[in-house]
Amino acid sequence: MTNQCVSLMSKVMLSIGIFSGASGVLADSADDSISRGKQVYSQQCAACHQQKGQGIPGSFPPQKEHTADLFNANGGIGGRDYLAHVLQYGLTGSIEVEGTSYNGNMPAWGGSLSNQQIADVLNYVLTAFGNRERLSRAFQPYTADEIDSVSGKDLSGKQVYQLRQAVVGNQGRSSGPTASQEAPAVSATATVSLDQAMPQPVYAAVQKSGVVERLPSKSTWPGVKGAHYDALSPDGRRLIVSGFKTGNVYIMDTDNGDIQASIAIGEVAQGVKVSPDGRYGLAVAPTQGIVAVIDMKSLSLVKKIPVGKTPHNLIFSKDGSLAYVTLQGEGALAVVNMTKLSKQRTIPTPGLDSPHNIDISEDGRRLWIRDFIGHVGVLDLDSEKVLKVFKVGAGHGGIDVIPNSRYVATGAISASRVTVIDADSLTVVANLEVGTGPHGVRASADGRYLYTSVTADNLIAIIDLKSLQVVHQVPVDGKFPFWVAVPGNP
Ligand code: HEC
């Protein structure tokens, strides 16, 4: 729908009084809210629910027409309140929409969008995609105050799922008792002790609580607001951590968690890495389309390298002379020359429209790329061709080429599984249930254990890569563990 069209539609609604009394602030008309909401939608929602709201069958439910039906529903807390809850707290469980099943995990937005932005995006969705015509009652736009009134309850996605059951009753899903719809139970055979499974420390960046936790000793280090991605220096003595929404990059001492520097690079900071020689830290600022170069001696920002549209994360070549940066907004990688500290060129990644996270094979000849919506691709650096694209769990996730192993592993934030791929035969060897919303994946340097940050269950799941079984689930001290850093496996 065009802007003009949205604005025309809301004018019509205004004139028939639907939006009357919508907002205490006169300047903030329903028009303004809807057009801001459109921006929020294309930046935050469209990657999954698609630009026209049509969704991806089996992975992401449609917003088209469906959201109005949810709004109209009368059971439980009512459709209007239900939608506010879904946006605040996310949703986890098996649902059915127009005959198609989804068993995913919608991220919570309470921590990353403001109340106003949540109100705006709901106002947009409910007046776009054929929803407006289906609303069964007068629509008063959501306000920031209304969203605020449902906040602070600290619900899980599974609890919102319970609310949904009452709201939509039998029109929402097919069959089966609620209990069986919960994330599959994980049989954690505790034959391996935690100390055995974590021979070296694992550093979890716990985003919503703004801490880094060192395991297995369970030291929790505060002061890292929005702790998002983290990476270790090659000597293991420093940790570089990105602040989601703060746009800061923090450098921490791995002995005691002291924050040695906090460097502003932009409004959001994404992937971080330290160069193999330990000289530079790189951090991605997606909205500016740059990679920030931090001198790891003076702990200062030395340069911002323009790389392209919506960069996300990066990996160094084995000799450290190049950095490969994923361009989520371009369907390509940027190649950065680390001597000149400038972008050299772009490598397209056909079959992967939104390259997100990335790792490199041990021989340095192949790049393994995880996209934003549910694929992994392997790119041969000699021919610069994508050799194969695998369908993996829905949503975005980390990717790790396991050291001393044939395996590559990836998470899936909108699902509950880690997919393991055999890099020699180029086949999927396992899909392991680990809990809801696994994102970060990193293996121990010896390649024996894989650590996965399970965002919605607030734990680190440990997979034994020999038996391909989950052997431990370690709760973290805080909410939304997003990423893990492991010594010897950058
Ligand atoms: C990472 C992918 C992803 C993103 C980004 C995302 N969603 Fe979702 N969303 C999902 C999934 C998956 C579900 C279904 C969850 C389930 O199966 O329980 C869902 C469910 C929903 C529902 C509830 C549908 C129902 O039938 O109850 C609404 C409403 C919704 N999303 C709106 C949004 C809006 C608005 C945004 C942007 C602020 C957004 N989503 C961003 C993946 C996503």
Residue 30 CA to ligand 1 center (angstroms) comes to: 23
206 and 117 in one domain? Answer: no
Q: Helix 79-89 to helix 157-168 angle, to the nearest 10 degrees?
A: 160
**Range(s) of the domain holding residue 33:** 3-181
In a domain, 32, yes or no: yes
256 and 159 in one domain? Answer: no
Distances (CA, A) of 331 to 52, 170, 338, 351, 355: 20, 41, 22, 8, 6
pLDDT attached to residue 190: 52
Low-confidence ranges of the chain (pLDDT < 50): 1-26, 170-189
Of all protein residues, the one whose alpha carbon is nearest to atom 16 of ligand 1 is: 104
257 and 352 in one domain? Answer: yes
pLDDT attached to residue 38: 97
In a domain, 189, yes or no: no
466 and 361 in one domain? Answer: yes
360, 401 in Cβ contact below 8 A? yes
pLDDT attached to residue 24: 41
469 and 327 in one domain? Answer: yes
Q: Which atom of ligand 1 is the closest one to the Cα of 45? A: 37
Contacts of 131 (CB under 8 A, 6+ apart): 63, 64, 65, 67, 68, 71, 125
The pair of three-digit structure tokens given for residue 89, joined into one six-digit string: 């707290």
Of all protein residues, the one whose alpha carbon is nearest to atom 28 of ligand 1 is: 86
pLDDT attached to residue 418: 97
155 and 206 in one domain? Answer: no
CATH number, domain of 61, equals 1.10.760.10
Which tens digits make up the pLDDT trace of 286-340?
Answer: 999 999 999 999 999 999 999 999 999 999 999 999 999 999 999 999 999 999 9
In a domain, 188, yes or no: no
The pair of three-digit structure tokens given for residue 401, joined into one six-digit string: 């080429």
Which residues contact ligand 1 via a Cβ below 6 A? 44-45, 47-49, 60-61, 67, 70, 83, 86-87, 91-93, 95, 97, 102-107, 109, 121, 125, 164, 395, 413-414
User: Which residues on adjacent β-strands are paired with residue 303?
Assistant: 293
463 and 346 in one domain? Answer: yes
pLDDT attached to residue 12: 39
316 and 229 in one domain? Answer: yes
359 and 213 in one domain? Answer: yes
| Gap between the Cα atoms of 108 and 145, Å rounded | 18
276 and 340 in one domain? Answer: yes
Mutate to test the pocket of ligand 1, among 48, 122, 328 (most ligand atoms within 8 A of CB): 48
Q: Helix 30-40 to helix 115-127 angle, to the nearest 10 degrees?
A: 100
CATH number, domain of 333, equals 2.130.10.10
174 and 244 in one domain? Answer: no
Mutate to test the pocket of ligand 1, among 34, 39, 49, 160 (most ligand atoms within 8 A of CB): 49
Mutate to test the pocket of ligand 1, among 91, 103, 372 (most ligand atoms within 8 A of CB): 91
Query: Which of residues 132, 154, 181 is at a domain's end?
Result: 181
- What is the count of structural domains for the chain? 2
Residue 108 CA to ligand 1 center (angstroms) comes to: 9
Query: Which of residues 151, 181, 211 is at a domain's end?
Result: 181
Residue 340 CA to ligand 1 center (angstroms) comes to: 42
Residue 49 CA to ligand 1 center (angstroms) comes to: 7
pTM of the model: 0.74
